[in-house]
Amino acid sequence: MPKLIAIVEDDPDQRANYAYAITKKGYEVQAYASREEALLGFDKQLPDLVILDIILGDEVDAGFQICRDILSRSPSLPVIFLTERINEIDKISGLRLGAWDYLSKPISLDYLAEKISSLLRLGEVSSTQVSASDNVKVIGHLSLDQDALLLTWKNQRLDLSGTEFRMLAKLVKVPGHAVSYESFMNATMQSLVTNNTINTHMRNIRKKFEAIDPEFDCIKSEYGFGYRWIKQ
């Protein structure tokens, strides 16, 4: 059964172009022109991925409101903001709300279709996590036991400090989802933690993965915001 992609865009030409490009990739599309239409549609059926403009008609933050609403129903659902609002503060706001990506207009339709495919693959990784218990996660080559504080990568044990382990657990909670510096600060359970402190911890974590796997490249930096875990 094809994945359902929701588009929330008030410009009819852009909405039609996005829908055409996405349908060509084999996905089913539901397109909405306003916040009200979108929320009514989501009441009937939640999509597998949502593309949101921020400004819809006279509502300058409608996309942000939709994002809050839909992620309250399905926290791991992939959300893409596609907008002309390209200020850094808007991007940070979108990622903090839980969006998986933030793209600026105009955009190549082929690129948009590939981005959707990529995020859906990441979503499948998240939904197919295998748990030996409530506190054990297996995500691709990663196995993380939060009870025993044990971590393996490609069946090799990786020794992290308690702080590093808690940060990694926060990072991989929803693969593909950007995690803010603030969230990492809370995970460290330390006082007076700065962004530079988090960056240092992340460099150390990366080095430990790379020591057993030189091709490791799952931890991606989100400039000014934090980090995300990407399937390798």
Enumerate domains of the chain plus CATH numbers: 4-127 (3.40.50.2300), 136-229 (1.10.10.10)
**pLDDT of the residue at 65:** 95
Q: What is the DSSP letter of 100?
A: S
pTM of the model: 0.65
Of 123, 124, 110, 115, the closest CA to residue 24 belongs to: 110
Cβ–Cβ contacts within 10 Å for residue 178, how many? 25
Residues with pLDDT less than 70, the chain: 123-135, 232
**pLDDT of the residue at 126:** 52
Of 21, 30, 52, 53, the closest CA to residue 117 belongs to: 21
**pLDDT of the residue at 130:** 42
**pLDDT of the residue at 134:** 52
Q: What is the DSSP letter of 56?
A: B
**pLDDT of the residue at 127:** 52
In the chain, the amino acid numbered 119 is L
**pLDDT of the residue at 18:** 97
